[in-house]
Amino acid sequence: MEITLVSGVNGNVTTISVQPTDTVNRLVQHAHSALSIPAQSQQLTHYGNALEPSTVISSTSLADGDLVMVQVKPSAPAPSMQSRATATLDMIRRDPNIMSTLRGVNPQLHQRIMNGDQSAVHDLLNMAPTMNPTNAPSPSQRLDPMSAQAQKAIEERIRQENIQDNMQAAMEHNPESFGSVIMLFVKCKINSQTDITAFVDSGAQATIISKACAERCNILRLLDTRFAGTAQGVGTAKIHGRIHMALLTLGGEIFEVSFIVMDAISSGYDMLLGLDMLRKHQACIDLKHNCLRIGSAEVPFLAEKDVPRHMRQNQPGQPSVQPPNITPTVSSVPSPTPPPNASASAGANAAAAPPQTADEGKVNRLTEMGFSRHEAVAALSSCNGDVEQAATILAQSKYGF
């Protein structure tokens, strides 16, 4: 199970995977290394109940995904008044500047301190403002409390206290707000060839792919530079063009997707699944079950440990630049000239293949993508029933990619 530890000192958050047979001491040691809170100073609480380090996790009320507050234990009782007075006397006697000033201002008090009279400490503290002008009340402290300036200062002090109280209440009742939120990522493939970590962003207008990722997937050759332009959003970015269609595999299902190609996407993402693709295929972002429902597929969102480190560098509390909404600005977009039909010879060869028994479900998936039943059966036969490879072959022969 995964347990989230929240520091009661500064609100920092860390996550640890534990087994029910582990003891709470494992949480203590992890908090010591990740949150920099000494183990002997920690007080772990779960919904207000203290957790003892020697307790086995299975015997507590902890469950997967729970939050544990890591507080600092109250400090040891303050030393007695007498011991503090003695220490203060020793400190004063060792400071030649204080003793020299005191000898000139109040010789009697100077003598009492030299004799070790502890009551002299109280008298010295009372006369400290007269000995050090820098400790005199500031002009703002001497203001008339009914004046407008004083009232404004009081109002600001009350506002700061309210802010602090609000933060303390949030740390107690809503500690999740101080933790890092992992963005939504899924694993996918393009043309059944390359594994890609894609960022699901329903706030982006278009589906975007980085130029480097498109090159790795061998689809950059399909870039239509007539659709070059500028991405308008938080700042601007250059759009190299558009790839009109490629086959995207998600959870075993194949979808036709078009891409805007840019040099790089914010935070180093390879691909961003935008609203155009999500709406077209009626995708559902299911946060309750932590998955993306699209078509008949359920694609789980990646856990934090499965997301490449460079894609999860932005943390809450730091400014984060969101990928811009894409509004391509194209000076002139001519009507695209239909490419030569390269499917004639390939279709003839596919039709000439000997008929074999094929999985009707796989055949239907290919025919739904616009291929004939003849082509689907022949492609599945040549690929030993691999529907993704068959779809890639048919798309290459029919569309040129």
What pLDDT score was predicted for residue 288? 92
Tokens of 194: 């390359």
Mean pLDDT of the chain: 78
Q: Which helix (H) or strand (E) holds 119?
A: helix 119-126
Torsion angle defined by CA atoms of residues 34, 36, 40 and 41, in that order, rounded to the nearest 10 degrees: -120
Nearest to 250 by CA among 294, 287, 218: 294
Which residue do the tokens 């030299």 mark? Answer: 114
What pLDDT score was predicted for residue 136? 45
Torsion angle defined by CA atoms of residues 271, 284, 327 and 187, in that order, rounded to the nearest 10 degrees: 0
Instruction: Answer yes or no: is pLDDT of 382 > 60.
Output: yes
Q: pTM above 0.75?
A: no
Is 233:325 a contact under the CB 8 Å cutoff? yes
Q: How many CB atoms lie within 10 A of CB 269?
A: 23
Tokens of 387: 């529907």
Residue pLDDT, tens place only, 101-114: 778 778 887 788 88
Q: Quote the DSSP letter at residue 118.
A: T
What pLDDT score was predicted for residue 199? 93
* Residue 286 designated active-site: no
263 or 312: which carries more pLDDT confidence?
A: 263
Residue pLDDT, tens place only, 90-100: 777 878 877 88
Average pLDDT on 183-196 reads 86
d(CA 238, CA 232): 9
Instruction: Answer yes or no: is pLDDT of 243 > 60.
Output: yes
Instruction: Answer yes or no: is pLDDT of 327 > 70.
Output: no
Instruction: Answer yes or no: is pLDDT of 141 > 60.
Output: no
Nearest to 322 by CA among 215, 237, 228: 237
Instruction: Answer yes or no: is pLDDT of 343 > 60.
Output: no
Residue pLDDT, tens place only, 244-289: 999 999 988 889 999 999 987 766 788 999 999 999 999 999 999 9
Of residues 201, 270, 306, 386, which has the active-site annotation? 201
What pLDDT score was predicted for residue 346? 41
